[in-house]
């Protein structure tokens, strides 16, 4: 149960943290159409958060709710990958991150649709439809911005170079991953690495961007051992009401 | 000021097999982008299952000053409407 | 309202054409983009629809201010969906204005350099979570009063945009009231927040309808053209009459000691807002005018490279396609 809880937190926290970052764009995106599209993505991710964290809370069995998990845990209890918590910076980095994550989510959720755990399979089926559209949109945008102007190409390359060392954490493996695999609940993330590589290489090359050579990867998010400094600030904002007024119902 | 994304007209077919209907407009860099934007802008409440987009400037419209010759001639063709024909009640539903 | 103090343009057209145009409007016909229209009608509409659109877009900011701090996942999703709708409404309205021969970029430029206005209400700060309740309840409530009749406005594209806006907006006021209901049922601190939000937003909400009819010099032409459907005072009265019982339901006090039910004419008597404050806000001296415009300016500047790059990519793609044919 400890491993399933851990696994569900990873699913939920990825959605929560990326959803939160994406929601920061509301009202200030480069064009109205993009503003609305980003909000749709954020809403999908908040919806996914409710599913995964709701189930996590149930599995934990300590009477906590999805909201308790989202709003009353501190950094060391978060299990999202580091890439999703770093600041948006600009539209380029936001979309590049979305793409790198979507390219993982699609094969990952596809695999999870075959989970031995019915809830995991159901949630994955629902999330997969959303992820497919996110991937379509983010991949097309990465291609457009990579090819657009000299400035946009430079910005997209900078975004890719910055994010690249964080992408490897998607394929981490530990006791939890092994336990999930043994129980038939999930596959090992490493098993979809080839799918991800192929997709990412293809789109980056269509986008006239250079894939960084380095294979170095930062870890610490999905285990919770060491997050970036950015997560604390994000939580300080996100959790302020729940922390300032304990027990209040909103 | 740099160039604005062109304007597109959006047509959406709803759930129930009706024809595509004009729902509004938006801006997008090209047709593929316009379809995606239309999905995000005009189907947020589950309004549609199919989207058409066309660049606004590609549409040819009838001219308002020709309204008379365009539409008035259809006015007196009352025999095109079912109510023109009196059929006795005893014939039943027709 | 979202379009306040919209000055009607004088019109110097042929009297016969003008009379025929007025007859169409009086007969309830819709005016469509390619139809003949008086220059004054066109210019007034651009100003009004543009101002309405700008209000939706600037209006994203005070509520956007709380999306990252919403207290639960449900509230966060509701608020985000609502603020997203505002972007959509701005988009529909800009498109309606574009049919009158002005581009969205031109309108944006006019907003940023102060030639076009947006509603005074969005120059007030949102300080606590209860403000999300108050804004939805009062500001959207006031907006709906104006927007519902505008579905029958004489200009076709504007009327159609308003139909869409009203359909979507129906959840906005309820969303706000729902937040207020939770606050007044909550802790003493939450109740205090709710009352404080009402105290701060009551008079600014009343100002949304614009100055009193006796001081409103531009109304008559716009009303004859059916681009303004009700007078400012009519709508303000209707708003007060509908809102007071809602405040009573919440157990909140409207910050107006002279508010009384007038048995004789079946409506509330209430204190007018401070119109000096209104004119200060309109002329740029509201609490947030500078911040709101600089936030819009920054978003516009920061997004320029994206808009340009998308265009450049589309052009390259089209050229490649042409070469391949």
pLDDT digits (tens, 9 = 90+) for A74-84: 999 999 999 99
Residue A55, classed as helix, strand or coil, is helix
CA-based nearest distance A131→chain C, Å? 18
Q: Write out the two tokens for A43.
A: 């809403």
pLDDT at A123 over 80: yes
Put simply, the chain B residues between 16 and 35 with a CB less than 8 A from any chain A CB are: 26-29, 32-33
Give the nearest partner residue to B36 out of A31, A32, A137, using CB atoms: A137
Interface size A-B, in CB pairs within 8 Å, comes to 26
- How is residue B87 written in tokens? 């059929």
How far B83 CA lies from chain C's nearest CA (Å)? 27
Which chains share 3+ C-beta pairs under 8 angstroms with C?
Answer: A, B
B32: chain A residues, CB-CB within 8 Å? 140
Q: Do A31 and B5 touch (CB under 8 A)?
A: yes
For A180, residues 6+ apart whose C-beta sits below 8 A from its C-beta are: A3, A4, A7, A186
Q: What is the DSSP letter of A86?
A: S
Nearest to B40 among A33, A140, A144 (CB): A33
Q: How far apart are CA B28 and CA A49, in angstroms?
A: 31
**What ipTM did this prediction achieve?**
0.97
Q: Which of C60, C179, C314 sits opposite A27 (nearest CB)?
A: C60
> How many whole angstroms separate alpha carbon C134 and alpha carbon C222?
30
State the chains in contact with A (3 or more Cβ–Cβ pairs under 8 Å): B, C
Look-up: residue for tokens 């790059």? C309
B33 vs C34, C105, C310: nearest CB: C310
Closest CA to A24 of A88, A104, A97: A88
Residue C219: the pLDDT is 78
Residue whose structure tokens are 């939580």 = A235
Domains of chain A: 2-218+225-244 (1.20.1260.10)
CB C163 within 8 A of CB C93: no
pLDDT at C313: 98
Q: How far apart are CA A6 and CA A211, in angstroms?
A: 32
Query: CA-based angle A108:A111:A117, to the nearest 5?
Result: 110
User: What digits encode the pLDDT tens for the residues A25-78?
Assistant: 999 999 999 999 999 999 999 999 999 999 999 999 999 999 999 999 999 999
Whether C295 contacts chain B with CB within 8 A: no
Give per-residue pLDDT as tens, C64-81.
999 999 999 999 999 999
List pLDDT tens digits, range B30-83: 999 999 999 999 999 888 889 999 999 999 988 776 777 778 878 788 888 888
User: What pLDDT is stored for residue C144 in this prediction?
Assistant: 93
Flag whether pLDDT at C114 surpasses 90.
yes
With a CB-CB cutoff of 8 Å, which residues 139-178 of chain C face chain B?
160-161, 164, 168
Q: Do residues C228 and C249 touch, judged by C-beta distance below 8 A?
A: no
Contacts with B54 (C-beta within 8 Å, 6 or more apart), sequence order:
B8, B9, B11
- Which among C167, C172, C133 is positioned nearest to C148, based on CA atoms? C167
Are the C-beta atoms of A43 and A216 separated by less than 8 Å?
A: no
> Does the beta carbon of C98 lie under 8 angstroms from any beta carbon of chain B?
yes
CA-based R_g, chain A, Å? 18
Nearest CA in chain B to A40: B40
DSSP for C219-268 reads HHHHHHTTSS-S-HHHHHHHHHHHHHHHHHHHT---S-TT-EEETTTTEE
Q: Do A33 and B37 touch (CB under 8 A)?
A: yes
pTM of the model: 0.95
Chain B residues whose beta carbon lies within 8 Å of the beta carbon of residue A36: 37, 40-41, 44
Q: Dmax of chain A from CA atoms?
A: 54
Answer for the pair A35, C87: CB distance below 8 angstroms, yes or no. yes
**CA of C247, closest CA in chain B: separation in Å?**
31
Average pLDDT over residues C166-174: 90
How close are the terminal C-alpha atoms of chain C, in Å? 53
Does the CB of B44 have a partner CB in chain A at under 8 Å? yes
């Amino acid at each position: 149960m400890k491993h399933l809880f851990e696994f569900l937190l990873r699913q939920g926290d990825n959605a929560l943290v990326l959803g939160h970052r994406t929601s920061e764009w509301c009202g200030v995106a480069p064009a109205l159409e993009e503003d609305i599209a980003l909000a749709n993505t954020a809403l999908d991710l908040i919806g996914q958060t409710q599913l995964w964290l709701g189930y996590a809370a149930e599995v934990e069995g300590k009477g906590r709710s999805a909201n308790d998990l989202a709003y009353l845990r501190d950094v060391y209890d978060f299990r999202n990958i580091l890439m999703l918590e770093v600041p948006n910076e600009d539209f380029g980095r936001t979309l590049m991150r979305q793409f790198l994550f979507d390219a993982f989510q699609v094969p990952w959720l596809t695999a999870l649709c075959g989970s031995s755990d019915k809830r995991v399979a159901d949630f994955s089926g629902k999330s997969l439809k959303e992820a497919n559209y996110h991937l379509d949109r983010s991949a097309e945008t990465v291609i457009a911005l990579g090819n657009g102007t000299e400035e946009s190409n430079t910005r997209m390359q900078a975004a890719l170079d910055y994010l690249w060392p964080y992408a490897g954490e998607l394929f981490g493996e530990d006791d939890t991953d092994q336990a999930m695999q043994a129980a038939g609940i999930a596959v090992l993330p490493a098993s979809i690495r080839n799918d991800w590589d192929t997709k990412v290489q293809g789109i980056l090359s269509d986008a006239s961007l250079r894939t960084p050579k380095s294979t170095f990867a930062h870890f610490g998010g999905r285990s919770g051992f060491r997050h970036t400094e950015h997560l604390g600030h994000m939580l300080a904002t996100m959790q302020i009401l729940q922390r300032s007024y304990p027990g209040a119902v909103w | 000021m740099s160039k604005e994304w062109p304007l597109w007209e959006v047509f959406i077919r709803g759930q129930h097999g009706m024809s595509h209907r004009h729902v509004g407009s938006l801006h997008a860099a090209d047709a593929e982008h316009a379809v995606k934007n239309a999905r995000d802008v005009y189907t947020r409440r589950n309004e549609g299952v199919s989207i058409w987009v066309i660049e606004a400037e590609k549409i040819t419209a009838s001219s308002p000053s020709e309204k008379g010759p365009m539409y008035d001639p259809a006015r007196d063709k009352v025999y095109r409407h079912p109510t023109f024909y009196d059929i006795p009640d005893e014939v039943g539903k027709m | 309202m979202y379009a306040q103090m919209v000055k009607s343009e004088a019109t110097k057209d042929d009297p016969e054409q003008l009379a025929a145009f007025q007859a169409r409007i009086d007969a309830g016909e819709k005016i469509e983009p390619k139809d003949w229209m008086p220059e004054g009608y066109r210019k007034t509409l651009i100003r009004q629809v543009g101002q309405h659109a700008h209000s939706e877009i600037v209006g994203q900011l005070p509520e956007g201010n709380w999306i990252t701090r919403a207290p639960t996942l449900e509230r966060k999703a509701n608020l985000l969906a609502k603020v997203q709708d505002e972007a959509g409404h701005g988009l529909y309205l800009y498109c309606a204005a574009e049919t009158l021969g002005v581009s969205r970029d031109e309108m944006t430029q006019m907003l940023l350099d102060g030639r076009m206005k947006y509603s005074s209400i969005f120059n007030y700060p949102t300080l606590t979570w209860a403000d999300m309740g108050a804004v939805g309840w009062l500001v959207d409530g006031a907006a709906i009063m104006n927007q519902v009749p505008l579905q029958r406005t004489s200009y076709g594209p504007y009327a159609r945009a308003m139909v869409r806006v009203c359909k979507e907006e129906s959840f906005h006021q309820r969303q706000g009231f729902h937040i207020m209901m939770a606050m007044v049922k909550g802790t003493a601190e939450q109740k205090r927040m709710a009352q404080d939000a009402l105290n701060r937003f009551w008079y600014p909400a009343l100002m949304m309808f614009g100055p009193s009819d006796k001081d409103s010099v531009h109304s008559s032409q716009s009303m004859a053209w059916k681009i303004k459907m009700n007078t400012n005072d009519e709508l303000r009265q209707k708003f007060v009459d509908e809102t007071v019982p809602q405040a009573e339901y919440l157990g909140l006090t409207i910050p107006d000691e002279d508010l009384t039910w007038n048995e004789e004419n079946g409506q509330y008597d209430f204190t007018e807002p401070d119109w000096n404050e209104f004119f200060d806000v309109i002329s740029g001296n509201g609490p947030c005018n500078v911040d709101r415009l600089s936030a819009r300016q920054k978003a516009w500047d920061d997004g320029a490279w994206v808009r340009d790059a998308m265009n450049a990519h589309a052009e390259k793609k089209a050229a490649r396609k042409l070469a391949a044919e």
